[in-house]
Homo-oligomer: A and B are copies of this chain.
């Protein structure tokens, strides 16, 4: 699984940074987070097939995060899409999509499923085949959603040599052991799952928090995440402006990443004033070594964690 930054500028694009969009690429599926103008071409540049997009998440209805969406929907039609596409965003996203579709009179030979997430429905959950995406509230100048992508944990590997040695017959008992169940053999002997099944493989977790001021909600929700993607629009000297405009400095964001003990922190929505990002990199790294200033088409591989002992995995055992 990797994360690709399709656009890393904030508010206005520059020659080197396009407007916000991030893709998560998994086996055969792409999830898209925000969709600034020109995202359709950035997808091509990143070698991501538009047909693989199943779910699009829009954080908020500011133009820089959403003006690329109509183009994506038109492109899907040109690509002869037949499967539905799912779009999740704040209240108003439906009106934006369907009013634009009506005025520009574009045809979509596929269903556009739009689900508005409001404060009332913030606990909704998007279920993929082996992952979920949850929503939470960010602190921006308008209603803005954060997203938590989390894979389901995978059961550990069954040690077949051990089960044979313990006299477990081939068949359904092995599956029960693999699923964490302790079993009783015909001779009354009990075989404990934990003795024959390796450690569960902890699902990976990515948090998307753009645009936002430094927020407790992000710090709490990001605990132990493999990757936190966070608003890092300004250097520290513009902390007041960041606060006024509902953004974060890279130091504020790095503080959150550090305290949440995330594996990596990627800072994005970079103000166009930082054509040279060195100041931002220095400030971010001075707080948290695992901070990175994102750039367009940057890719981050997300490896599996090892040696995880979180409660849900314990429960599975």
A interface residues (Cβ-Cβ under 8 A, vs B): 11-15, 18, 37-38, 40-41, 44-45, 61-64, 66-68, 70-71, 74-75, 78, 92, 95-96, 99-100, 103-106, 142
Q: A37-B38, A37-B71, A103-B99 are in contact. Are A15 and B45 (CB under 8 A)?
A: yes
CA–CA, A288 to B103, complex, Å? 38
Chain B minimum-CB-distance residue to A73: B63
CA–CA, A104 to B99, complex, Å? 12
Q: In the complex the two chains form, is A15's CB within 8 Å of B38's CB?
A: no
Taking CB atoms, residues of chain B closer than 8 Å to A100 are 96, 100
Contact of A99 among B11, B78, B99, B105 (CB under 8 A): B99
Question: Within the complex, what minimum Cβ distance (angstroms) separates A70 from chain B?
Answer: 5
Q: In the complex the two chains form, is B37's CB within 8 Å of A68's CB?
A: yes
Q: How many protomers of this protein does the assembly include?
A: 2
Contact of A37 among B37, B96, B105 (CB under 8 A): B37
Question: Within the complex, what minimum Cβ distance (angstroms) separates A88 from chain B?
Answer: 17
Question: Within the complex, what minimum Cβ distance (angstroms) separates A105 from chain B?
Answer: 7
Q: In the complex the two chains form, is A62's CB within 8 Å of B104's CB?
A: yes
The 7 closest A-B pairs by CB, nearest first: A63-B104, A38-B38, A96-B103, A37-B71, A63-B74, A12-B78, A99-B99
Q: In the complex the two chains form, is B75's CB within 8 Å of A12's CB?
A: yes
Chain B minimum-CB-distance residue to A95: B103
Q: In the complex the two chains form, is A103's CB within 8 Å of B61's CB?
A: yes
Q: A104-B62, A105-B142 are in contact. Are A11 and B78 (CB under 8 A)?
A: yes
Q: In the complex the two chains form, is A62's CB within 8 Å of B105's CB?
A: yes
CA–CA, A63 to B105, complex, Å? 8
Contact of A104 among B11, B15, B66 (CB under 8 A): B66
Chain B minimum-CB-distance residue to A40: B13
Taking CB atoms, residues of chain B closer than 8 Å to A11 are 78
Additional 16 contacts, C-beta under 8 A, given A12-B74, A15-B44, A62-B106? A12-B75, A12-B78, A14-B44, A15-B41, A15-B45, A37-B67, A37-B68, A38-B41, A61-B104, A61-B105, A64-B74, A92-B103, A95-B103, A96-B104, A100-B100, A105-B142
Taking CB atoms, residues of chain B closer than 8 Å to A106 are 62-63
CA–CA, A105 to B12, complex, Å? 15
CA–CA, A103 to B96, complex, Å? 6
CA–CA, A91 to B61, complex, Å? 26
Taking CB atoms, residues of chain B closer than 8 Å to A96 are 100, 103-104
CB pairs A–B below 8 angstroms (10 shown): A11-B78, A12-B40, A12-B74, A37-B40, A37-B67, A38-B38, A38-B41, A67-B70, A96-B100, A100-B100
Taking CB atoms, residues of chain B closer than 8 Å to A75 are 12
CA–CA, A13 to B74, complex, Å? 11
Question: Within the complex, what minimum Cβ distance (angstroms) separates A238 from chain B?
Answer: 16
Taking CB atoms, residues of chain B closer than 8 Å to A70 are 63, 67
